[in-house]
Amino acid sequence: MSLAHTAAEYMLSDALLPDRKGSRLKGLRLELPMDQMIKFVAVGFPLLLMSLAFAQEFSSGSPISCFSPSNFSVRQAAYVDSSCWDSLVHHEQDEAGQYKIKSLWPHKALPYSLLALAMAMYLPVLLWQYAAVPALSSDLLFIISELDKSYNRSIRLVQHMLKIRQKSSDPLVFWDELEKARKERYFEFPLLERYLACKQRSHSLVATYLLRNSLLLLFTSATYLYLGHFHLDVFFQEEFSCSIKAGLLHDETHVPDLITCRLTSLSIFQIVSLSSAAIYTLLVPVIIYNFTRLCQWDKRLLSVYEMLPAFDLLSRKMLGCPINDLNVILLFLRANISELISFSWLSVLCVLKDTTIQKHNIDTVVDFMTLLAGLEPSKPKHLTQQMCDEHP
């Protein structure tokens, strides 16, 4: 065995990907980075504000302070604060002398509305986890495994070709068999390509993904309506007139008709309202961007894997409308690029392919590795000329 053949075998052995032991499912990212950011902000931010509201309530005591008459005892003043906070109704006298009632319940419901908002924003995440993740994880495991296996099969094929070339006494017979194998498409492994082509006709993943983002937009719009309709109406009202003349106190003459109270937690209420509106306003363009990503293909990822035999979705123009499951899978393959060991190797081969002189003879990784192993990717010209001379 010559030194050149030994070096070629070592080079091809090093190019083989190692077999990965253990489950790959633990390392898979089943949520896109943008979706994770939206989840943490949309769910975590109202929970943070809720904890802030509860902390203020526990640290400051009563969220209101009522100006009770001076003849009221301490227990009576505490009763006024408790009664006015329970009712939380503002009595306002109109021009005709009639009292109008205005409820201030958004102040009392603030922590619970934030909890309800966080739960609503988590519903799209649950939908994705239960409706899409099981099928997506199996698809990613199969595709990642097949991409790496297809690369390894190509390298092993070049190793086999190198051994046959070494054992063949007549180079013409070897090149005739090689051209026949290429003509009959023996080097191609079309299972993965056909599987991905089938995913173009499937729409379950993309429908779930669109529904997830649509629900986020719907709940964000509902948040705007809630803040605008309920919070804006009481946003600047710091004081209100409270009536405690009810029940046994209805006929008590020493009890005033109205008692002025002040909302000590108004600043927290205003901060929560403004910050919620600002944060969810910033989230809307990010959610819309998630929609726009489904309108175009990630052709860079596909172009790298065009180096594999029978993986010519781009060159054969098999890509149609991008709104299908295949496009969603490509987005998650891009997010799990660290799990694709073959991607780095094929990226390097693509760069070398673009810089090599014999570009017209190199189509796949088999052709390129054949060239690196010391074999011509096609029949040498002197053998072609020799064959023409023997068979004029």
Tell me what the pLDDT averaged over the chain comes to.
Answer: 78
pLDDT at 280: 94
328: pLDDT strictly greater than 70: yes
Least confident of 104-113, 163-172, 233-242, 277-286: 163-172
Mean pLDDT, range 45-59, rounded to an integer: 86
Give the Cα separation of 41 and 353 in Å (integer).
44
Give Cα separations from 209 to 31, 191, 251 (angstroms).
Answer: 10, 26, 63
Give the Cα separation of 219 and 226 in Å (integer).
10
* DSSP string computed for 271-301: HHHHHHHHHHHHHHHHHHHHHHHTTS--HHH
Give the Cα separation of 224 and 220 in Å (integer).
6
Among candidate residues 337, 270, 241, the one with its CA nearest the CA of residue 298:
337
Q: How much of the chain, in percent, has pLDDT values that exceed 90?
A: 27
User: DSSP assignment, residue 17?
Assistant: P
The gap from C-alpha 238 to its chain's centroid, in whole angstroms, comes to: 42
pLDDT at 387: 42
pLDDT at 285: 95
* DSSP string computed for 212-223: HHHHHHHHHHHH
Residue type, 333: L
Pick the most confident of 239-253, 265-279, 300-314: 265-279
pLDDT at 287: 94
Whole-prediction pTM value?
A: 0.81
Pick the most confident of 89-103, 109-123, 233-247, 375-389: 109-123
Q: What is the pLDDT of residues 281-315, one digit of tens each?
A: 999 999 999 999 988 887 788 778 877 766 666 55
User: Looking at per-residue confidence, does 194 or 120 come out higher?
Assistant: 120
pLDDT at 325: 92
Domain map (residue ranges) of the chain: 3-58+105-236+272-373
274: pLDDT strictly greater than 60: yes
33: pLDDT strictly greater than 70: yes
Q: 216: pLDDT confidence band, cut at 50, 70 and 90?
A: very high
390: pLDDT strictly greater than 50: no
70: pLDDT strictly greater than 80: no
> How many Cα neighbours within 13 Å face the side chain of 386?
10
Residue 204: partners with Cβ closer than 8 Å, 6 or more residues away: 132, 135, 325
3 state SS of 378:
coil
Query: Are 329 and 296 a contacting pair, CB within 8 Å?
Result: no
Least confident of 22-31, 50-59, 371-380: 371-380
The gap from C-alpha 122 to its chain's centroid, in whole angstroms, comes to: 14
User: Looking at per-residue confidence, does 31 or 82 come out higher?
Assistant: 31
Residue 223: partners with Cβ closer than 8 Å, 6 or more residues away: 117, 276, 277, 280
Give the Cα separation of 335 and 331 in Å (integer).
6
User: Looking at per-residue confidence, does 174 or 190 come out higher?
Assistant: 190
User: Looking at per-residue confidence, does 262 or 370 come out higher?
Assistant: 262
Give the Cα separation of 349 and 307 in Å (integer).
8
